[in-house]
């Protein structure tokens, strides 16, 4: 029986990189996204192997009824969940200076980026506790994808930075709560990753990498993040609950 992973925002960008890595490792996948299923069929087929199953769970994790439906569909298909990957997230529709940012933008970003993962984790954590009681030797884990923006400020997307900083505390809180059940909780903190979210700033970051933005002078890739998540999902980094795994090419190392 394959382990099962739920990846939110798993049909594009970093989430797709994670889904591909876990598919290679033999996981059955529940992939969440907001697009209708007929728009992601090619993606779902790319994740299908001879050994695994792939379920698409459409919905907005920032909405309570969608979260409940996603988990209901997952339970109906697989009856179990070993790994939750909180990855879904959005950037502000418009990058505005914090002197001009709107409450509407703040609410939208925070609902999807922070409130959704917080309450999805709550539901999944309670289910994992029950599963763990029945299967003590099976590995369960919660992995949250944050960003270097959790500690690096960008004054033209303050709501995004605040949401990612909140995810860092989410990891600490759930690691503290799940410790007694031996269910580890991790944070993977990507640097600048080449995805559709960063497509509009390629020239800017190409130049910044040339100027030394990171110690490794290249963009990060979804595959880089997928490799890290696969290691965590397979318990290859034990005795490390609550820890941050920085996948940023050395971007956040301070140098004199």
Helices (H) and strands (E) in the chain, counts: 8, 7
Query: What pLDDT, on a 0 to 100 scale, did the predictor assign at position 199?
Result: 81
Whether domain 4-247 has CATH 1.10.287.3510: the reply is no
Q: How confident is the model at residue 158 (pLDDT cuts 50, 70, 90)?
A: very high
Query: What pLDDT, on a 0 to 100 scale, did the predictor assign at position 170?
Result: 98
Average pLDDT of 23-29? Answer: 98
What whole-number distance in Å separates Cα of residue 231 and Cα of residue 178? Answer: 20
- Mean pLDDT, rounded, of the chain: 97
Query: What pLDDT, on a 0 to 100 scale, did the predictor assign at position 201?
Result: 84
Q: In this structure, what DSSP letter does residue 112 have?
A: I
What whole-number distance in Å separates Cα of residue 44 and Cα of residue 51? Answer: 14
Encoded tokens for 26? 């033999």
Query: What pLDDT, on a 0 to 100 scale, did the predictor assign at position 68?
Result: 97
Q: In this structure, are residues 159 and 214 in contact, taking their beta carbons and an 8 Å threshold? A: no
- Residue 104: is its pLDDT beyond 90? yes
Work out the burial of residue 53: count CB atoms within 10 Å of its CB; fewer than 13 is exposed, 13-18 middle, 19 or more buried.
middle
Encoded tokens for 77? 């298909």
Q: How confident is the model at residue 136 (pLDDT cuts 50, 70, 90)?
A: very high
Domain boundaries in the chain?
A: 4-247
Q: What is the pLDDT of residues 234-254, one digit of tens each?
A: 999 999 999 999 999 999 999
Q: What is the pLDDT of residues 28-72, one digit of tens each?
A: 999 999 999 999 999 999 999 989 999 999 999 999 999 999 999
3-state secondary structure of 185: strand
Average pLDDT of 162-177? Answer: 98
Q: What is the pLDDT of residues 179-237, one digit of tens each?
A: 999 999 999 999 999 998 888 889 999 999 999 999 999 999 999 999 999 999 999 99
pTM above 0.95, yes or no: yes
Encoded tokens for 246? 């920085």
- Which residues carry out catalysis? 160
Average pLDDT of 72-82? Answer: 98
């Amino acid at each position: 029986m394959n382990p099962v992973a739920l990846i939110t925002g798993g049909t594009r960008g970093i989430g797709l990189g994670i889904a591909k890595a876990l598919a290679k490792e033999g996981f059955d996948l529940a992939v969440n996204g907001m697009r209708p299923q007929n728009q992601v069929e090619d993606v779902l087929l790319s994740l299908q192997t001879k050994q695994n199953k792939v379920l698409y769970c459409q919905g907005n994790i920032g909405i309570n009824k969608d979260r409940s439906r996603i988990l209901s569909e997952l339970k109906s298909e697989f009856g179990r969940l070993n790994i939750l990957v909180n990855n879904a997230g959005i950037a502000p529709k418009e990058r505005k200076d914090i002197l001009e940012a709107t409450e509407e933008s703040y609410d939208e970003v925070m609902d999807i980026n922070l409130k959704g993962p917080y309450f999805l984790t709550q539901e999944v954590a309670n289910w994992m506790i029950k599963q763990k009681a029945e299967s003590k030797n099976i590995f369960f884990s919660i992995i949250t994808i944050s960003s270097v923006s959790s500690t690096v400020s960008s004054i033209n997307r303050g709501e995004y930075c605040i949401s990612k900083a909140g995810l860092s505390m989410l990891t600490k809180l759930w690691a503290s709560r799940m410790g007694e059940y031996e269910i580890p909780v991790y944070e993977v903190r990507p640097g600048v990753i080449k995805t559709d979210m960063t497509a509009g700033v390629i020239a800017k970051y190409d130049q910044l990498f040339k100027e030394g933005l990171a110690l490794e002078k290249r963009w990060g890739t979804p595959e880089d993040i997928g490799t890290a998540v696969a290691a965590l999902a397979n318990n290859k980094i034990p005795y490390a609950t609550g820890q941050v795994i920085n996948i940023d090419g050395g971007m956040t190392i301070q140098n004199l």
